[in-house]
Structure 1
Amino acid sequence: MAVSGRPLPTLPVLPDAATDRVVASGLLTELAHAFGGPFHFLLPDAFDTHLRAMRDALTGAGVDGFVYFAKKANKAAVFVERAIAGGAGVDVASLAELREALGHGVRGEHLVVTGPAKGPALLHLAVQHGALIAVDALDELDALVAVGSSRPTRILLRVLPPAPPFSRFGLTEAELNTALNLCSREGHAVRMEGFSFHLSGYALQPRADLAARLASLCHKARVLGLEASRVSIGGGLPISYTDADSWHGFLAEQNSSHYHAGKTFHTGDFYPYYSPAAGADALARLLATRPEGSDTALSGVLQEAGVTLLLEPGRALLHQAGATVFRIQGVKGRDGYRILTVDGTSLSLSEQWFNSEYLPDPVLLPQDSGGPTGRFPASVAAATCLESDLLTWRKIPFPRCPRVGDLLVYPNTAGYQMDSNESPFHDLALPPKVVIDRTDRPRPRWRLDRHFV
């Protein structure tokens, strides 16, 4: 029966017409039957829209820039294909990612290789294809000098950020000086094209400050005869899953009684599901931010320094570019709420990796229009033997009574959620990815993604 009393907090996602059309089409029920398990559907047109908006933000600010899609955010081949078609590059951090990108037609010059302590095979292949390599340590730079190639190896020097103070990534100031001198001496072997950094969090001011600092470092490097014309700021452009009132209301209301087993989450561990500036708008605001000690905005600093800005967004390009579908295969009653068991695991929603939870409300798709309506709280568990394996600890107030065979659609999961933590635990197959190429038809056109692995 439905539950009365004080409402449970909800977190509705922002409306998305393309997702709504797919949900309303009836296609998801057929795909769930065909696959016999959970699956993801992808909406690559959203990726195209965000990429165009980012390029427009760079052009509007008068900044020379280049966008690399951070492939780690989603393994699907279609997003690599759309990056190429949209004039972008791809950011890879492993040998498999590099091979996959090359296999889908990304030119070496449009690849950037990031990540720490890269293996010899990765470095060798990156050098042979003329990829740009972000150097994280002096021994990595030594290894690149020793690779030997008919042309200089293209590199960026990754800088240790001022915060957090104990980051394991990047070169200290002393290491930078050593690296710059080595690059100057070994100009026949390496072409030092600039600097890079990655910052945790989503604040714009620290990014503007560090980007401006690296632009000034380019001047220092040029004195040594180095090219030093590029600065990469990595990713970290936030997106908004929900509106401001819903997000702040949720944070104010939620407590341990709203979760299965009284589980407690630290709100600081939640992704910021609302941001006042998101995606391309966040990039525009970043470029308009005045770095500390500067009389001009970051865009002016970059223009004056003659520096090209490199970006490596992942989640910001994948906003509303896909969702994840599970079938309910068990319903169990608890004190005032239900536990729904679905045909998959929490490993397909990767927020648990960060001791957190994917908070946007899942959508219930009933098999038919029958059944009672009201408010039916339920948490969502996985089909495994682990107490901790819950997709949603929170008690979601569903508007209909969930039943075996109904579908649950987790919205906006293309950015990291689909891939970062997936595992074939219990020998369960990884959910396939379905590409929806057309949503503007009575029956959406779909195909399986062409990922090689």
Structure 2
Amino acid sequence: MGGPADSAPPAGHGESPGASAIGPVHCAPPMPADVDPLERRLLAHPHLLGDIAAAVGGPFHVLFPERVARNVTAFHEAFRAAGVDGFVYFGKKANKAACVARACAESGAGIDVASVGELVAALAQGVRGEDLMVTGPAKSDELLWLAVRHGSTIAIDALDELARLTRICAGHDQISRSTPPTRTGGPTPAGRPARILLRIQPDGSTSRFGLDRAELAQALRSAPAGGPVLLSGFSFHLSGYDATARADLAATLVEHCVRARADGHLADTISIGGGFGVDYLDAGSWTRFRDTSSEKWFHGRAPGQDYYPYHFPVPGAAMLTAVLAHNRLAEALRTNGIRLSIEPGRALLDRAGSSIFRVQGGKTRTAHGEPYDILTVDGTSLSLSEQWFDSEYLPDPVLWPARPGTITASCVGATTCLESDLLSRRRIPLPRRAQVGDLLVYPNTAGYQMDSNESTFHELPLPPKVVVREVDGRPGWSLDATAR
């Protein structure tokens, strides 16, 4: 690195009198993430990451679609083990990569979409229309029209949305379009029933989403059996990651289905949304950080304490198993012939990708009598998302290539003119001092980190997505369709 990183480490770096066994006292403890075996091989390869970085010419994201397929399979196996008819919809908002949607199509998973763009992108990767769940508030008429045309299930969030959908199905509304009618695939779907779930608002919730008790009763009156919409069942979404709360509310949805059937409705499906946690860090690393976090570990001020639960002891498909086991929910589903749909996003992307930035500068500063490096990389924290929620992405980046050196406290800033734009405010104990041209590989970022806040701020290009697959026993790469 130009300047301090090209010179000998100043006094106080690494083995200073104030250093602990795990690193300098003025930086955070190490928090390494467990990564997918394919990623370990990628990191161990002497040239491949460097070759990709040279070809791309800037920051990039790496994705491992085979890992997505394995995660889908794990959820399918949890359903089978419980003897439950279940279906997995990938929450597409968690990642826009085409290879993820294709992995879902090939693995027998559907996709949860909330916009025309997401619906079209899912269809383009081979997901069938009947395997789409259309969610989100106040859906546009165009989205509703397309959903009906493709036989997708629509989660109704409000009474006026139900009224608009009913008119579309009955052919009473013509949808305003910016393209000529000859390019829309035909007229409105008059007479074709729409499959719907009614999204309920949990009692006591202040959420802006879903139907409260009075609205639910009115929706049932507005969608009689045999009408232009087909009531397939009910759904909910809960914040947080509580398996018990999901199981209890799912049991309530089963009761709704039983009552709706008495009125002639099909009501054979419930959806409990997502919120299946991901285990990023081992218990010891997470506990040490959570219980002993210090202002001394951060450049500037420490972020707020609203961290994602980075150690999640019962993650993903194991959490689904816990939901199904609570209060014999699986038995209730089997007895009543009800399908359970889920809409995980992050959990299907666990260990399915990483974000890579090139070090392009650095300087040394001092805090609490100890020096540390401020690295500048060729991207922004918009590509790591968490900072923009006054939080911090906690799994440590891997410094590539691996070389011997001395532990160096380092935080990571972006290549923008904003003081607050840091990828890592924490002073991370990197295993050696970073130099210009080195890569920082942030692990397990496929779930929301890559896409939630992407922006071409400063007219910087968005990091492209690179697909890494095993080819003849070694990793090979190509650009994702979204990057071409």
User: What's the TM-score bracket when you normalise by the shorter of the two chains?
Assistant: over 0.9
> For the Cα contact (< 8 Å) 1:342–1:383, is it kept in 2?
yes
Following the alignment from structure 2 to structure 1, what is the Cα–Cα distance between the partners of residues 261 and 250?
A: 17
Once the two structures are TM-superposed, the CA of residue 15 in structure 1 deviates from its matched residue by 4.2
Following the alignment from structure 2 to structure 1, what is the Cα–Cα distance between the partners of residues 271 and 421?
A: 38
Q: Which residue of 1 aligns with 2:292?
A: 253
2:304 counterpart of 1:266: yes
> For the Cα contact (< 8 Å) 1:345–1:389, is it kept in 2?
yes
Runs of 4+ more than 3 Å apart:
none
2:379 counterpart of 1:379: no
Q: How does 1:41-440 map to 2 (within 5 A)?
A: 41-148=62-169, 149-162=190-203, 165-184=205-224, 187-261=226-300, 263-267=301-305, 269-290=306-327, 297-335=328-366, 336-366=371-401, 369=403, 373-438=405-470
Following the alignment from structure 2 to structure 1, what is the Cα–Cα distance between the partners of residues 471 and 382?
A: 28
Amino acid at match of 1:373: G
Task: Summarize deviations over 1:276-304 as a string: whole Å, max 9, x none.
Answer: 101111111111112xxxxxx11112112
> For the Cα contact (< 8 Å) 1:363–1:410, is it kept in 2?
yes
Unaligned runs of 5+ in 1: 291-296
Following the alignment from structure 1 to structure 2, what is the Cα–Cα distance between the partners of residues 162 and 354?
A: 28
Following the alignment from structure 2 to structure 1, what is the Cα–Cα distance between the partners of residues 48 and 153?
A: 42
Following the alignment from structure 1 to structure 2, what is the Cα–Cα distance between the partners of residues 122 and 446?
A: 34
2:484 counterpart of 1:447: no
Compared CA separation, residues 314 and 83, structure 1 to 2 (3 A): same
Following the alignment from structure 2 to structure 1, what is the Cα–Cα distance between the partners of residues 472 and 33?
A: 21
Following the alignment from structure 1 to structure 2, what is the Cα–Cα distance between the partners of residues 216 and 402?
A: 59
2:34 counterpart of 1:14: yes
Task: Summarize deviations over 1:353-378 as a string: whole Å, max 9, x none.
Answer: 32211110000014x74xx6221001
Unaligned runs of 5+ in 2: 1-8, 170-189
Following the alignment from structure 1 to structure 2, what is the Cα–Cα distance between the partners of residues 16 and 97?
A: 27
**Identity between Structure 1 and Structure 2 (%):** 53
- Answer with 98-107 or 308-317: which moved more: 98-107
SS at match of 1:175: helix
Following the alignment from structure 1 to structure 2, what is the Cα–Cα distance between the partners of residues 116 and 158?
A: 10
> For the Cα contact (< 8 Å) 1:234–1:313, is it kept in 2?
yes
Which is greater in Rg?
2
Amino acid at match of 1:106: V
> Normalised by the size of structure 2, how large is the TM-score?
0.88
Compared CA separation, residues 440 and 390, structure 1 to 2 (3 A): farther
Once the two structures are TM-superposed, the CA of residue 131 in structure 1 deviates from its matched residue by 0.8
Following the alignment from structure 1 to structure 2, what is the Cα–Cα distance between the partners of residues 22 and 365?
A: 11
Following the alignment from structure 1 to structure 2, what is the Cα–Cα distance between the partners of residues 265 and 348?
A: 18
Once the two structures are TM-superposed, the CA of residue 441 in structure 1 deviates from its matched residue by 2.6
Amino acid at match of 2:284: D
Once the two structures are TM-superposed, the CA of residue 198 in structure 1 deviates from its matched residue by 0.5
> For the Cα contact (< 8 Å) 1:9–1:254, is it kept in 2?
no
SS at match of 1:133: strand
Following the alignment from structure 2 to structure 1, what is the Cα–Cα distance between the partners of residues 56 and 38?
A: 22
Following the alignment from structure 1 to structure 2, what is the Cα–Cα distance between the partners of residues 440 and 211?
A: 45
Once the two structures are TM-superposed, the CA of residue 105 in structure 1 deviates from its matched residue by 2.0
Once the two structures are TM-superposed, the CA of residue 48 in structure 1 deviates from its matched residue by 0.9
Following the alignment from structure 1 to structure 2, what is the Cα–Cα distance between the partners of residues 198 and 272?
A: 19
Following the alignment from structure 1 to structure 2, what is the Cα–Cα distance between the partners of residues 452 and 28?
A: 17
Once the two structures are TM-superposed, the CA of residue 10 in structure 1 deviates from its matched residue by 2.0
SS at match of 1:395: strand
Once the two structures are TM-superposed, the CA of residue 440 in structure 1 deviates from its matched residue by 6.4
Following the alignment from structure 1 to structure 2, what is the Cα–Cα distance between the partners of residues 155 and 17?
A: 41
Once the two structures are TM-superposed, the CA of residue 107 in structure 1 deviates from its matched residue by 1.3
The number of residue pairs the alignment matches comes to 439
